[in-house]
Structure formats: C-alpha cells, structure tokens
Amino acid sequence: MLNCFLQKGLLLFVFSIVITTMKFSYKIFWNRYVLIFLAFAVWIIFFDQNNLFHHIKLRSEVKKAEKQKQFYLDELRKDSIFLDQLENDPAVKEKFAREHYLMKRDDEVVFSIIREDTTDCNLENK
C-alpha cells in the first residue's frame, strides 16, 4: 500500500514538473522577441532571394569549380613539362613527330595499325 502511494506521489511530482515546464516553454514561445526571431529565421531559410538552399547550391558549384581549377592547373603543369622536353630534347621531338604526324625517314616504311575496340569481342565470347 505504501509503495502504491509512493508511486502515485512520484508520478504526481513528475507530472507537476512537466506542466510547469510546459507553461514556461509556452510563455517563452509566445514572447515577441522569440516570435520575431522565428519569423526572421523562416524568412531567411525559405523565402529570401539568397535562401539556405541557394547557398548550398552555390557552395557545391564553388567546390566543383575549385576541383576543375585544380585539374586544369595540373594539366598546365604537365603540358609545360612536356613542352620544355619537346623544345630541348631531340629524341622526344622525334618521337612526337613520328607518333602524331606520321613522319618517317627516307629509308623507312611506316605502317599505321588502328585497333578497334576489343570490348565488343569480349562480350561476344562470354
């Protein structure tokens, strides 16, 4: 019997704390400053021209542009090294001319072998 009273008393105590907390939070929620802040936050997040979704989209575009910039800087570095080798090394110059312009010496015959895509053949064999 005593245990039942203690449980009911504890339950009433917890319930009274919850009610007072709800009243306190209800009063805070209807405070004019809180309402103005919430209206401002909703306006900024959803309705403004530069809303949160627009910022997220712009941030992803900036990251994409930075990756693209880094890619082109790496390509520029590689091409600069290759151009320097092409200008200074006669062996690289000869190799480039033979591969890209099919140049040859007078006593040579150049055969150009064009390979077709082998993935189609592999699919047929499976």
| Residue 116 DSSP one-character state | P
What does the pLDDT look like over 34-48, one tens digit per residue?
A: 788 888 888 888 888
Euclidean distance between CA atoms 61 and 63, whole angstroms: 5
pTM: 0.53
pLDDT computed for residue 1 by the predictor: 46
Q: What is the mean pLDDT of the chain?
A: 80
64-83 pLDDT, tens digit per residue, is: 999 999 999 999 999 999 99
Residues in the chain, total:
126
Q: What is the CA radius of gyration of the chain?
A: 38
Ordered by start, the domain boundaries in the chain are 49-108
101 neighbors 95 (Cβ within 8 angstroms): no
Q: For residue 32, is pLDDT > 60?
A: yes
